[in-house]
Structure 1
Amino acid sequence: MSALDARVVVERGAFRLDAALQAGPGEVLAVMGPSGAGKTTLLHVLAGLTALDEGHVRLGDRELDAAPRPRRRTAPSSRGIVLLGQEPRLFPHLSAHANIAFGLRVHGATKEVAASEADQWLWRVGLDGMGRRRPSELSGGQQQRVALARALATSPEAILLDEPLTSLDTETAGDVRALLHDQLASTRTTAVVATHDAVDAVSLASRLVVLEKGRVTQAGAVREVLAAPATRFTAAVAGLNRVTGVLRAGRWESEGVVLAAEGAASAHRDGEAVAAVFRPSVVGIERAEADTWTGALRLAPSVVEGEWLARVTRLEQTPAGVRVRTADPEVAVDLTADRVAELGLAPGLPVRLRLDVGDVRFVAVS
């Protein structure tokens, strides 16, 4: 087991990636971020496929890369790091067994040892009896299992997983995710998992780094980061609302929303920017006093703590029902489908929202 330590700076035109991460020996670290945040570039630097402009990559007691001076660059094949991406990239002309054995042979195993180890790994990833099949005869999930077996069979010091479940259907992704969890735990392989899915982070990793626009916006234990999101992206991934406001005289205010926040006032300075974090399921919703925005504004009562007027922007299907998106401020409300039908909700309709301050967690805005 080897610890991974890196500070990665890469500049590509107007985009600049500047991120630091550390993973202890045998630890699984998740890296989350929206498309274009720099996740793949970060993994490619760790794997040796992209050169550093500045920083370092260290694995155990070895310095693999350094820049700008003195410059060091270790070839991908000599790093002890394996990169597994969205596509399995199996050799199409080789069987599943031969694909796994090939990696072992490249690393010096004899033909007999490689064959025996490949048999063992096929059993470990649930493909016992399928070793003779070529990739074209396997499902996407089965191909990804073979790719994982090939990667771990060579006992790498670290493995990098670049959204390996994205191309799989939900059920298959769940099966492969469970397999990943079991094999990473049993082999104690240091791993970095780049993903956009909170389920991957929660089920696979102990710590989480959030990467946005090339920089780390939050890092820490997975549970702590998702419970107190520092940005709107992280809140969305965690399935939470995050609305930025200001604390003044024991009240939290944001775009016409006012909450009594005496408890939060003791933990934050008066006038400090503070985000209110709360679940979509705790927000109450009713039709406004009128069906037009101007009419609703005219009939709306004066400011009431914990209540505000909003406008429906869109409706989204969820596994449990419907998520109602509202604006000014942006707040999501989770309802059952029959409740949405009962209220007759539709985009553009004014609604009145309610929120109990006891369901809110206040987080300082960095």
Structure 2
Amino acid sequence: MRRIRAVARKEWLHIIRDPRSLIAALTLPVVLLVLYGYAVNLDLNELEWAVCDQDQSATSRALIANMSGLERFTFVGAIDDPEDTEQLFRLGTARGVVVLPAGLERDVFAGRTVPVQVLIDGSEGTIASLAQSYLEGAVNAFGAQISRDQARRRGLAGALGGQAIEARTRIYYNPDLISRKFLVPGLIAIVLMMLAALLTSGVVVRERERGTFELLAASPIAPSDLIIGKLLPYILLGLVDVVIAVVIGWVLFDVPVVGSPLALIVVSAIFVLTASAIGLFFSCVTSTQQAAMLLALASTVIPTMLLSGFAYPVRNMPLFLQGVAQVLPATHYIALLRGIILRGAGLMHMWPNVAALVAIGLLWPTVAIRRFRKAL
């Protein structure tokens, strides 16, 4: 027992004398708990919805006013034709559209049940199921209220009769709300982020460990040319991985690419470049390959899984974490993948995400080149 205490005391002294390890051991649980506590939120705080009012009656306007006043319901506008629904979904303007058919008021007063179509964007499974529940509930509750009012007017107090208005739901892109269709595009982003950052995290530090870094420093090649030359093979390898991942998603998980393959390759190239530059930056600031790989993993995989919208909606997070999410390249890449693969959206439909990804894609290579120059 005395020997065990001696060894334990010696190890404890090592921990105390290494403040970085001690701080990491004490702060990491707090950081992860706070991140998970705030980021893991499956509630729907805001439901953007639109309407297609083909009846233009007092009853249809009353339904719209009633739903617009509900908590968490954000009315984003009206469309003239149900065919315009997909355009709203591709732009990300609305999560659901309520279609009020012509003759709604006439049929309600005639005592007939009127089916009201509720159209849902199913490209984000967790949001889609909640949006379906909220919109169906709001439409059916209004229909039940009309039934009660009609019963009272007819002197049938307490009798409800039939449902005046009944929601009929149609879900776009993922009718059965199968989770893998929602998760596969996000998994592609996570795998690419991890692979690209890990592979390039050893590029510079490996030269140091082999003793060949001085040869690079003495070479007449410009630092920017060195960076591009070192990153290019990994970018090409990353694009091959994209093709493999997309084919696997299609063949094994029945998630085909609905949109443009060219658009998919373009945004993937930007993302792989960014992830590779992040890994290269870590390679420049560390002294061993092991440290570079650990730093790359901790700095890319955990934030990507928690804050990028992979499983939990970004809009449900606190404003501070939403701000952090916006500077992560995976946040915009996942949004673009889901738009292209599931909704068939073009790059112009998602230009804010494209612009953000391009900006981040220009920033990290610039930072990596500057850091590499300092290392030289």
Common topology (TM > 0.5): no
Rg comparison, structure with higher value: 2
- Give the number of the structure whose residues are more often helix, by fraction: 2
- Give the number of the structure whose residues are more often strand, by fraction: 1
TM-score, normalised with respect to structure 2: 0.25
TM-score, normalised with respect to structure 1: 0.26
